[in-house]
Amino acid sequence: MSKKKRKNYIGNIAALVLTIAAVLLLVWVARGLVPTKIDDVAAETEATTEAITAATTSATTVSTDATTEATTESEPAEPTVEEQALEILSGMTLREQVYQLFIVRPEQITGSSEKLTEAGSDFEEGLEAYPVGGIAMFSENIVDREQTEEMISDMQSYSTLGLFIAVDEEGGTVARIGNNSAMGTTSFPSMKTIGNTGDTGEAYNVGYTIGTEIMELGFNLDFAPVADVDSNPDNTVIGDRAFSTIADIAAEMVAAAVEGFSDSGILCTLKHFPGHGDTSTDSHLGYTELDKSIDELWETEFVPFASGIEAGADLVMVGHISVPQVTGDDTPASLSSTMISILRDDLGFSGLIITDSMQMEAITDRYTSAEAAVMAIKAGVDIILMPENLEEAANGIIEAVENGEISEERIAESVLKILETKIESGIIG
């Protein structure tokens, strides 16, 4: 409302009040109720003045509120996260979209046979050629605090969209940072030890402390917590990395750890779906099978994953574990549309789905990098972790889109989720 209209509006209100007062005065005169004492006249005048003032104040308030509302309505609304992501997506080529689907080691960007501890011009050039969505750092890349912070800062400065900077920091034996005394971070015992305390506060503290400390270094994604149930004594890959041999206890601990990670601001990952705790072989070394029915999975393996998903986990890592009783064949879960659909539809996970490392022999013994990458995307995976050959994997997906095997909409679906996650977590400012 303009100042002129507001002034006229207030004036009209005041005039109306004065008219009403005059009418009342005439009525009083007719009835012989006109006050005869000066004090009474003063009182009546004061009352009338108060009424006019109150009415004017009320009118001013209404007018001001209306003006504020009008101003608010005229201001352009902030774009939503989805709108921001869609705008970025609309400016990306197919090749740029496909490379967003990968998180790789820093050496896969430069082609170096030596483990990188700094990101110089060769990394900048490599990232321009292979604009991946993220980098996973390992113990060999992490020397001390200053070097780690500088390397991460440099890598981020070369990326136009911002990078996921990931690490395996579970606590216990798998702690690329915590087990390096030069990093000055907290060293935790095994998650089995944490689980044995029966105190979910301890699990929360693990998530919160690890998350806080690695964020200070520049990391934004942790491949933790482990959501497996250590239910097979012959298992060689999980063991004390799991919180418990009992599904319900593991579930409580996993949920608390996820809450801790979330409160620290770090993105976290449940692993290794559908569950690696009751396998007798290691998927790093070859074919790995989980010989269980879907009902048995719901009774044990899925329990911690369901709990962690409900607690707000950002990612779920799918293992290269074959579940023939469920899928009807020996396709690894990471490449199986059946297992990915169970994770999405039955467990209700709407976040990012990432494969375990594609350099594991459970994959490389049976598939080329291109075959595995195409199968993973067709199955519904969003992010492919460390293919054996990055360029071959990316080109395989691009060719699959160009020949109609994978739709452009399917690629855009995952890229949009990735961009939204980066915006929400501040990776894209």
Which residues carry out catalysis? 284, 356
Distance CA 345, CA 307 (A): 15
Phi, psi of 373 (to 5 degrees): -65, -45
Contact 309, 348 (CB under 8 A): yes
Cis geometry, peptide bond prior to residue 276 (ω within 30 degrees of 0): no
For 93-220, where are the alpha helices, taking DSSP H only? Answer: 94-99, 107-110, 121-129, 145-157, 191-196, 200-217
Cα 422 off chain centre by? 7
The residue among 171, 183, 136 whose CA lies nearest residue 257 is 171
The residue among 262, 254, 255, 190 whose CA lies nearest residue 221 is 262
Q: To which residue do tokens 């004065």 refer?
A: 18
DSSP state of 187: -
Residues 6+ apart with CB under 8 A from 284: 237, 360, 361, 362
Q: To which residue do tokens 């467990």 refer?
A: 347
DSSP state of 217: H
The residue among 175, 133, 129, 177 whose CA lies nearest residue 386 is 133
Phi, psi of 254 (to 5 degrees): -60, -45
Contact 356, 296 (CB under 8 A): no
In the sheet with 352-355, reading across from the earlier edge strand, the strands are: 352-355, 315-318, 267-273, 221-222, 164-167, 134-137, 102-104, 384-385
Torsion of CA 280, 285, 287, 293, to 10 degrees: 30
